Structure 1
Amino acid sequence: MSEHPDAALVRRGYEAFNSGDLETLGSLLTADAIHHVPGDNPLSGHHKGRQAVLDLYRAFGEETGGTMRVELLSVLVDGRGHAMAFHITRADRADRGIEIHHGLFFTIVGGKISDIDQCTQDIDEENTFWG
C-alpha cells in the first residue's frame, strides 16, 4: 500500500528540515503559509508568509548552533487536506538542552502546506529553553 501524498509531503518536509534544506522546505509551502508557534518566548507567534516561516526555521538552527533535530514518530492524514505529525525535538542552546514531544497540525492546499499549528508537550519548558 502506497503512502498518501499528504503524508509523503509532510515526511519530505521533515527530511528537509533535518538536513537544513531551506530551498526544499520553501518549495513545499504556499506563498502565504503560516506557522503558529505557541508560548511566550522570542520565537512564539504567527509567522506569516513563506519567507517568515523559513526565517523561523533559520532561527531554530541559528539559536541552537545547528543542533536541533526532529525525530518523526508518525504522520496521520484525513484525506481532506489535513495531516498531523508527531515528533521528538532535541536541541542544545547555550547551557540548556531540550528533548520534548511536539505535534504539528498541517493544512494542505493544492499539494502544498498552507498552515502549521504547533503544539508542545510542556509549554513552560519550551518557554524556558527559548527565553
Structure 2
Amino acid sequence: MSALESLVRDFYAARDREDWPAVERTLAADVAWHEPGGEDYSGHHHGRDTVLRLLRRMLDVTGGTFHLEPTTFIVTAEHVATNARWSARRGDVQVEGNDLGVFRIADGKIAEAWFYPDGYDPDALTTVFSFGDEQETD
C-alpha cells in the first residue's frame, strides 16, 4: 500500500472512531475542502480548524450516526480517489448513498479534497444534515 493511500485510510479510520487529534494530523494547516450542493455543509471550506469543525458538526447533527466506509482506492502521484458508502440517521429519517472523494496530497498531508455524492434521497439528506443555522465558509 502506498503512503498516500495509507494517509487517506488513516483519515477515514480516525474520523470513524472520532479521534479528532488523529484526523487533525492527516490534514494540512491550509487544507481546502469542497462540498458540492446546496446543503448547510456545502461550500468551500479552508483551513484545518474550519474543516475539523465541519466534520464534527456533521457527526453531531446526526447524533453520531454518520458513517463512511471507503471501499475502493485509486492512487496517482499526488491524488487518492475513493469510493465510499455512507449512511446517517436523524430521528426517524435515514439517508445513505455513495461518495466519490478525491484527495490531493502534499507534504504527507491532505491538502485539498473534493466530494461527489450520488445515489441518495435529496430530501432525506437535507433533513438529516440540516445545521439549523449558517455554516462558516470562505
Please report the TM-score for the alignment, with normalisation by the length of structure 1.
0.91
Contact 1:105–1:118, Cα closer than 8 Å, also in 2: yes
In the other structure, the counterpart of 1:70 is 68
Counterpart of 1:43 in structure 2 is 41
1:45-87 Cα distance to aligned partner (Å, 9 max, x none): 1111000110011011111000111111011101x21110110
Per-residue deviation, 1:33: 0.3
Match of 2:19 in 1: 21
Determine whether 1:57 maps to 2:27.
no
Over aligned residue pairs, what C-alpha RMSD do you find?
1.4
Contact preservation (8 Å) 1:82, 1:106: yes
SS at match of 1:76: strand
What corresponds to 1:98 in structure 2? 95
- The code of the aligned residue for 2:11 comes to G
Q: What percent of counterpart residues are identical?
A: 31
TM-score, reference length from structure 2: 0.87
Alignment partner of 2:79 out of 54, 79, 82: 82
Deviation larger for 41-50 or 92-101? 92-101
SS in 2 for 1:54: helix
Amino acid in structure 2 at the alignment position of 1:41: E
State how far apart, in whole Å, the 2-side matches of 1:61 and 1:93 are: 11
Contact 1:33 1:48 in 2 (8 A): yes
Unaligned runs of 5+ in 2: 131-138
Aligned residues: 128
DSSP-derived class of the 2:63 partner: coil
Paired position in structure 2 for 1:5: 3
Paired with 1:130 and 1:64, the residues of 2 have a C-alpha distance of 7
Does the CA-based 8 Å contact 1:90-1:100 persist in structure 2?
A: yes
Mind listing any 5+ residue stretches in structure 1 that lack a counterpart?
none
1:130 has 2:132 as partner: no
Post-superposition CA distance 1:93-130 (Å, at most 9, x none): 23311110001100000110000101001476244543
Determine whether 1:115 maps to 2:112.
yes
Compared with structure 1, are the counterparts of its residues 34 and 113 closer, same or farther at alpha carbon in structure 2 (3 Å cutoff)?
A: same
